[in-house]
Chain A
Amino acid sequence: MEHVTQHSDPHFDQEASKLGMWLFIFTELLLFGGLFIVYSIYRFLNPESFQLASHELNPVIGAINTIILLVSSMTIAMSTSALQKKNKGLTVLLLEITIMLALIFLINKYFEWGVKFEHGIWPGSSHLVNDMSKGEILFFGLYFVMTGLHALHIIVGMIIIIVALRRVQKGTVNPDRPSLLENAGLYWHLVDLIWIFLFPLFYLIH
């Protein structure tokens, strides 16, 4: 009896999917890069207002969020190692920790923005428009746009990590096909990378 094996060989190229992810990351870097250039020019033109406005931000919360993101970057990096070591349980656990840390980051951000709103500061608020200098308006505008866009990336990153987590559990992401998890990791490190620059530029102006 002839043994029939159905051989399916979908094209799969790990290097290519990594390269594609990097190309996407470059577009993200240039998106935020453009905003950083806008920030640096306006700060250059309004140094005193930027300094004054940044006192409204709480560097302690900023530092806590920095550490949260750094730890979450470590846990997702470790999860790729755990997957390669065929330790599925640890991979899942590390991804769950990463998602929890991302959530804590967002909760901090929620309270942080909430304090600004309580102080009457949000884009276009009457306190901002009527009582503050042009430089301060620019500072807070950039603050809300850049941290908001960053927070949006956190949310998207969480969704990607949740998908990767599900796929790890189902086994479609496995040591032979780790690309989705690795690319989720790359995306998450990008989010971390952007925050590494956002934190000193907004919170640490003295």
Chain B
Amino acid sequence: MEKEKHHIVPYKVYFFILLALITLTFMSIGITQINLGGYSVLGALIFSTIKSVLVLTWFMHLKFDQPFLRFMVGFVALVFLAVIFITFLDYYFR
């Protein structure tokens, strides 16, 4: 355990991630201004997902953590998606 060195992320990396997150925020605002019907919520959710991947990977240090943590986060995300999918199957085919 002792030999594991903590990875120090440079400040500027965090700053660039912030810039990317703000850009994506404006892009998601932009896409919902265009009238795409049902696709605009899909677009906004795609941007949100990209943003959360950035937050999880860099801000929450998953990139530098042990792989099992990434695996667990991915697993929880999959479980959540599966629950959404099954719930919508139910409502869509009623």
Question: Which one of A105-113, A118-126, A186-194 is at the interface?
Answer: A186-194
Q: Which of A29, A41, A82 contacts B91 (CB 8 A)?
A: A41
B71-93 interface with A by 8 A CB criterion: 72-73, 76, 80, 83-84, 87-88, 91
Are B15 and A74 interface neighbours, CB within 8 A? yes
Q: Does A155 sit at the interface, judged by CB under 8 A?
A: no
Residue of A37, A67, A78, A186 most packed against chain B (CB within 10 A): A78
Interface size on B, residues (CB 8 A): 45
A36 to chain B: closest residue by CB: B84
Within 8 A of B (CB), among A63-78: 63, 66-67, 70-71, 73-74, 77-78
Q: Which residues of B contact A81 (CB under 8 A)?
A: 8-11, 14
**Do the beta carbons of B44 and A204 come within 8 Å of each other?**
yes
Shortest distance between the CB of A26 and any CB in chain B (Å): 5
Interface size on A, residues (CB 8 A): 45
CB pair B41–A44 under 8 Å, yes or no, is no
Contact of A44 among B17, B48, B58, B91 (CB under 8 A): B91
| List of B residues within 8 angstroms of A33 by Cβ | 80, 83
- Chain B residues near A201 (CB, 8 Å)? 41, 44
The listed residue with most B CB atoms (<10 A of its CB), out of A77, A189, A193, is A77
Q: State the main secondary structure of chain A at its contact with B.
A: helix
Q: A74's contact among B17, B25, B35, B60, by CB below 8 Å, is which?
A: B17
Sample (12) of A-B pairs whose CB atoms are under 8 Å apart = A22-B69, A41-B88, A44-B91, A63-B25, A74-B59, A78-B11, A81-B14, A85-B8, A182-B61, A193-B56, A196-B52, A204-B29
B: residues with CB less than 8 A from A are 1, 6, 8-11, 14-15, 17-18, 21-22, 25-26, 28-29, 32-33, 35, 40-41, 44-45, 47-48, 51-52, 55-56, 58-61, 65-66, 69, 72-73, 76, 80, 83-84, 87-88, 91
